[in-house]
A and B are shown apart, each in its own frame.
Chain A
Amino acid sequence: MATFEYAPAPESRAVVDIQPSYGLFIGGEFVEPATGGVLKTVNPATEEVLAEVAVADEADVDRAVRAAREAQSRVWGRLPGAERAKYLYRIARILQERAREFAVLETLDNGKPIKESRDVDVPLAAAHFFYHAGWADKLRWAGLPTAGPDGEPRPLGVVGQVIPWNFPLLMLAWKIAPALATGNTVVLKPAETTPLTALLFAQVCQQAELPPGVVNILTGAGETGAAVVAHPDVDKVAFTGSTDVGRLIARTVAGSRKRVTLELGGKAANVVFDDAALDQAVEGIVNGIFFNQGHVCCAGSRLLVQESVADDVVARLQRRLRTLRVGDPMDKNTDVGAINSKAQLLKITELVNAGDAEGAQRWTAPCELPQTGYWFAPTVFTGVSPTHRIAREEIFGPVLSVLTFRTPEEAVAKANNTPYGLSAGIWTEKGSRILWMADRLRAGVVWANTFNRFDPASPFGGYQESGYGREGGRHGLAEYVAGAH
């Protein structure tokens, strides 16, 4: 019997130049932090330290907000939209020119496969800047409230943005592009474990000669983020991350004049009917929960499969998972990379153990995991009931919970039976059923016969505990201008 062994196909690290340490990016320059705190950021696939980054304290946050305010009132807020557009186009072009550098850096810092950084994260990030560059001079036709006498929508001012570690560069693009396009300036805090592409982006801002203070990048951990959110001179807060932190933020800004958008967690249902195109549905299930190691807020972490095809679908899924390649994220043939941090690995393990204890049946894809680094093999739980923790709580890892249903009504009820409401998937060849389901699913994003498809023109966001507000499209622009709420 032949075996087609794929030889190692490593992407080279030579294209990136990681400094041993980085300062904070404030007012167009890299500066030392006020109290000199540092954090180390690690490659989760090897546990090697990549760099030291600064920890911004309240004094640094204040300095950054003042720089952002000055830039907004003196320069950025006075530029016509067409001029703002030019800077955004320039940033987009530089992202594309330096695409390989960004992809490699993202993979080293985050642990996701190079195939994904290269083919998904970086192209989508550039696309967001291109898209919003196109809107910057056309805002008066975007159906937004026009508060100014000249008929142009007015910016909010200074925006504080806190982003997660799962798509570091892409989440930065989702935040910064619409903010700048609408005339706001930004103080952004990247996640503690993934600061490097944000810092490279700061260099791109310099390369694009963006006016100083328009974008400020403050590295740090939870306290830095809290200081950004709480700063009295921030006009709007945009946060993507866990529901728990989102709640804290909502409490912090309650009663203030700050506008807030929150994009939080999910426990999305991927619903497969008995008349689904089964091979493609299996691909959709795999994509839904194993793409980006399951570190996706809109991941299809619950498979709701019609009972009459459940055994067939699970068998096909298990067969398919045997061809998933788990390992070195820098290898171009790797499909599933490393878990982003030890802390996240512990959370995943704890919930998976709960799944075992509650009586679900665990199946793990056979694969050899590397000795160093943080790894979790793709896992499928069957015999899951709606009361199990693995059916209710967001695991944020490569773990799928399989539940069954018998009728479309039951599928809807089970899919909606969650405090979250970010996304859902429907797999059926029957068009009328797609429309029927989409009408009833309480999810901000519904995918039909596909999953994890994103586009800058398509508004993204959830219901209930998945947050409020939308990012992308005209709905996303509305979050950054005055008068919309």
Chain B
Amino acid sequence: MSTTAAPNHLARAHDVLGAASVDDTALRRYLHGLPGVDEVGADARAAGLATRSIKTSAKAWALDLAVRIIDLTTLEGADTTGAVRALCAKARRPDPEDPACPPVAAVCVYNDLVPVAVEALAGSGVAVAAVATAFPSGRASLAVKLADTRDAVAAGADEIDMVIDRGAFLTGRYLQVFEEIAAVRAACAEGRPDGGAAHLKVILETGELVTYDNVRRASWLAMLAGADFIKTSTGKISPAATLPVTLVMLEAVRDWFEVTGAVVGVKPAGGIRTAKDAIRHLVLVNETAGPDWLDPARFRLGASSLLNDVLLQRRRMAIGAYAGPDHLTLPL
């Protein structure tokens, strides 16, 4: 068995699994030994937290945070240089009429447009995230997926959003999934212009995993293999990020921290369209993983149209009325 996991991640995996070697048997034993998730109970907890009433000063604080944690995204076949430049301008300055509005956390694009984003965002503090590993399907050879990753890293991407091989996961080939994540993670550290490592988000594509038990197991598998963030979805299929799925993933990072002392972030992506949805996610974070996770270093929202709804609500709180849609800019 070979693995390209960095020595410390592999050592940690050995420790956590309590196994002499990291193989399918050990992974299966561990992942299937995690507590199950009762679907009715998880849905009920998420629904209960969704009734929290977040108003006035709490809402203003949450809306500001919501802007700061958005990964503003465009992942269309028809994306162009011009479209990405426009998106980056909006990312730097979301609200043209309010210079106090913070910038978003990152811009997320296909990897051949990374150079455009890097140039457009230079000096802004907004990170450039690239999807990689044959996004969204993940159906390509490992060599192709790694080449995809290396291109993005060499072009200057700060963050890589990879997809796991769902076919491998659903057939129980956990070691394969582990090794691919580890290999991509190693590729994140190769050939960056500034010599650092891109941070790695691992997309589970929870809509294809279907059960919450699978979401929990895939979360732990990704963390064992060295993910910096676990992400719900590609946004290309439905269902994408639902509240119960985010809840299960927040429980996973919370428990991982208890077991290893290591911090992993969570990124729900896809299907989060309104400020209300965003605030509900923030409540989940607050009451599950805890307030330490209310930070762009540990929680992101992958979205595109969400930003304008958040800005609209933010503006309404500031001026007392809803602005017309033409007072906000189109993302592209």
Query: Which of B38, B44, B65, B283 has a CB less than 8 Å from the CB of A2?
Result: B65
The distance from the CB of B12 to the nearest CB of chain A, in whole angstroms, is 21
Could you say which residues of chain A place their CB within 8 Å of the CB of B42?
Answer: 279-280
Query: Which of A8, A429, A450 has a CB less than 8 Å from the CB of B40?
Result: A450
**CB contact under 8 A between A280 and B45, given known A6-B54, A9-B53:** yes
Query: Which of A3, A6, A279 has a CB less than 8 Å from the CB of B37?
Result: A279
Q: Which residues 321-370 of A sit at the B interface, judged by CB distance below 8 A? A: 323, 332-333
Measured CB to CB, the nearest residue on chain B to A428 is B36
Query: Does the CB pair B41–A449 fall under 8 Å?
Result: yes
Could you say which residues of chain A place their CB within 8 Å of the CB of B44?
Answer: 283, 450
Query: Does the CB pair A4–B282 fall under 8 Å?
Result: yes
Instruction: Report the separation of the CA atoms of residues A225 and B61 in the bound assembly, to the nearest whole angstrom.
Output: 53
Could you say which residues of chain A place their CB within 8 Å of the CB of B251?
Answer: 279
The distance from the CB of B238 to the nearest CB of chain A, in whole angstroms, is 25
The distance from the CB of A47 to the nearest CB of chain B, in whole angstroms, is 25
Query: Which of B35, B41, B294 has a CB less than 8 Å from the CB of A4?
Result: B294
Instruction: Report the separation of the CA atoms of residues A7 and B294 in the bound assembly, to the nearest whole angstrom.
Output: 17
User: Is A5 an interface position by the 8 A CB rule?
Assistant: yes
Instruction: Report the separation of the CA atoms of residues A1 and B35 in the bound assembly, to the nearest whole angstrom.
Output: 30
**CB contact under 8 A between A280 and B38, given known A7-B55, A7-B59:** yes
Instruction: Report the separation of the CA atoms of residues A333 and B48 in the bound assembly, to the nearest whole angstrom.
Output: 11
The distance from the CB of A103 to the nearest CB of chain B, in whole angstroms, is 13
Could you say which residues of chain B place their CB within 8 Å of the CB of A1?
Answer: 291-292
The distance from the CB of B133 to the nearest CB of chain A, in whole angstroms, is 30
Query: Does the CB pair A277–B38 fall under 8 Å?
Result: yes
Q: Which residues 120-147 of B sit at the A interface, judged by CB distance below 8 A? A: none
Could you say which residues of chain A place their CB within 8 Å of the CB of B45?
Answer: 279-280, 283
The distance from the CB of B228 to the nearest CB of chain A, in whole angstroms, is 19
**CB contact under 8 A between A5 and B35, given known A323-B287, A449-B41:** no
Instruction: Report the separation of the CA atoms of residues A280 and B62 in the bound assembly, to the nearest whole angstrom.
Output: 27
User: Is A112 an interface position by the 8 A CB rule?
Assistant: no
**CB contact under 8 A between A4 and B36, given known A279-B42, A333-B53:** no
**CB contact under 8 A between A280 and B41, given known A1-B292, A2-B295, A332-B53:** yes
Could you say which residues of chain B place their CB within 8 Å of the CB of A115?
Answer: 51
Most buried by A among B41, B282, B286: B41
Instruction: Report the separation of the CA atoms of residues A332 and B49 in the bound assembly, to the nearest whole angstrom.
Output: 12
Instruction: Report the separation of the CA atoms of residues A292 and B291 in the bound assembly, to the nearest whole angstrom.
Output: 27
Could you say which residues of chain A place their CB within 8 Å of the CB of B286?
Answer: 4
**CB contact under 8 A between A333 and B291, given known A4-B61, A7-B59:** no
Q: Which residues 14-50 of B sit at the A interface, judged by CB distance below 8 A? A: 35-38, 40-42, 44-45
Q: Which residues 49-87 of B sit at the A interface, judged by CB distance below 8 A? A: 51-59, 61-62, 65
Query: Does the CB pair A279–B35 fall under 8 Å?
Result: yes
Query: Does the CB pair B56–A7 fall under 8 Å?
Result: yes
User: Is A181 an interface position by the 8 A CB rule?
Assistant: no
Measured CB to CB, the nearest residue on chain A to B251 is A279
1/0 per residue B263-294: CB within 8 Å of A? 00000000000000000001100110001101
Query: Does the CB pair A3–B41 fall under 8 Å?
Result: no
Query: Does the CB pair A6–B58 fall under 8 Å?
Result: yes
Query: Does the CB pair A7–B57 fall under 8 Å?
Result: yes
The distance from the CB of A373 to the nearest CB of chain B, in whole angstroms, is 21
Could you say which residues of chain A place their CB within 8 Å of the CB of B52?
Answer: 6, 332-333
Please list the residues of chain B having a beta carbon within 8 angstroms of any beta carbon in chain A. 35-38, 40-42, 44-45, 51-59, 61-62, 65, 251, 282-283, 286-287, 291-292, 294-295
Known contacts A276-B36, A280-B41; 10 further A-B pairs (Cβ under 8 A):
A2-B65, A2-B291, A4-B62, A5-B58, A7-B54, A278-B35, A279-B45, A281-B41, A284-B41, A450-B40
Please list the residues of chain A having a beta carbon within 8 angstroms of any beta carbon in chain B. 1-9, 115, 119, 275-281, 283-284, 323, 332-333, 429, 449-450
17 contacts between A and B (CB under 8 A): A4-B58, A4-B286, A5-B61, A8-B56, A9-B54, A115-B51, A275-B35, A276-B35, A277-B35, A278-B35, A279-B35, A280-B42, A280-B45, A283-B41, A323-B287, A449-B41, A450-B40
